[in-house]
Structure 1
Amino acid sequence: MRRPDRRCWPVLYLLIYLLFLPSVSYAAETFRLLTGYTPSDRPAYSRMWDVFLEISSSDHMLEILFYPEKNPRNSICKIRKSVSDDGRKIFLETAAKKNLQSANGLLVLPEFPAPCSILPIHQIENQKVYEQSRQAGGRTFAKQFSVSRELFKRDVCLKNGWIKNGITTTGMLVMFTVKNKQNKMVIKQLWPENGKWWIYEETVDRRSWRLP
């Protein structure tokens, strides 16, 4: 058998090194969210969240971790979201070991304490119907939601209190609104152009803002 040319050895060593090189992450970003809660059974209160976002180069999944300000070492939930297919695949792991997943880009969690719902921000249609299912006790339960999108100018968003001072945006902003089958608002999110995360979220009993 013919021996490889010695001049090729450096290239072979480099390929072997890259093959066993640990996966690296890139585009890491950290930001803070402020959430104000207005529950019906107790006084209003607020909470801060530190959010860590990065994309892994090994599987190109976007990872989002939520850390309570008062407990910065333990995340309350971890979201893994695909990037190559417009974010249709979503996996959620919570500190309570409650795992959820979605294959259509929608994961609505209005009752979860952290504002970690995922909406189909790559939706082109003005309105589209999605189904979200979950399993419990060996049974599958499904809900239908409609998602609409509407463009807003920055001055309108500021007037409505959707943007905190110091948050910079360019171009129009998109408000995604999720409604249930009874046509009641479940959740809405305001996204900047080409943004990695929303700058405002609202449910029935809470409002959240991205802080500068």
Structure 2
Amino acid sequence: MKKIIMHLTGNKTILFPGKVSGVCICKTFSLVCLFLITLTASVEIIYAQTKKLSYKILQGGSEVGYLFLEKKDSADVTKFNMESSAQKRIIFLISIYEKQICLFKNGVVKFSNVFRKVNGSIKTNKSLLNNGKGYEICCNGKNEKLNLSDIHHNQLSLYYEEPVNYNQIYSDQFECMLNIKKIKPNNYKIELPDGNINYYTYTNGTLSSIKLKHTFFSAEFILTHSE
């Protein structure tokens, strides 16, 4: 465990009181995941900068939910936290609650987790771990190797950084790299593996809106607050 801690955090002092529910833990790397869960839950690292973003979610012109993000940076560690809740009407009303965590060290993804509930039932709960030799996905008690080299950007990165110097991001949902296509200045689109499309608009380097053009519904995320 000491080697794991040193590998992920260097010589930083880390305290991890409390607990986090809803994070997938698999037998083969349960100790590592447990450490990372506590790390992302309550970590005493001296962060040089914290930036928070708030979005409202619109469907058909009506506000149906929210999305909050927090990014914390230290000298070599970056941590993203995202929480969202929305009620989307497709054929009938669907309530969706989601939390995401992503931890970078020296610009490389070391751990991420996606937890999603639909109408109160857990639909997604999976983790991605960089074990130093590659990536593993943990979902439903099973491990699966991911045939990717170091991941430098994931979907949460898009909220804080306009993709001017890269054209791919990793999607925890689809477990693959997604291509980013620039369609005009400060505007991009990502075509998802399921055929849906997301459109991203940036203002002064920060994501100001997302438009979802999906088969059964459309929605928009509008930036309301940045600090």
TM-score by length of 2: 0.45
The structure richer in strand per residue is 2
Q: Which has the larger radius of gyration?
A: 1
**Normalising by structure 1, what TM-score?**
0.48
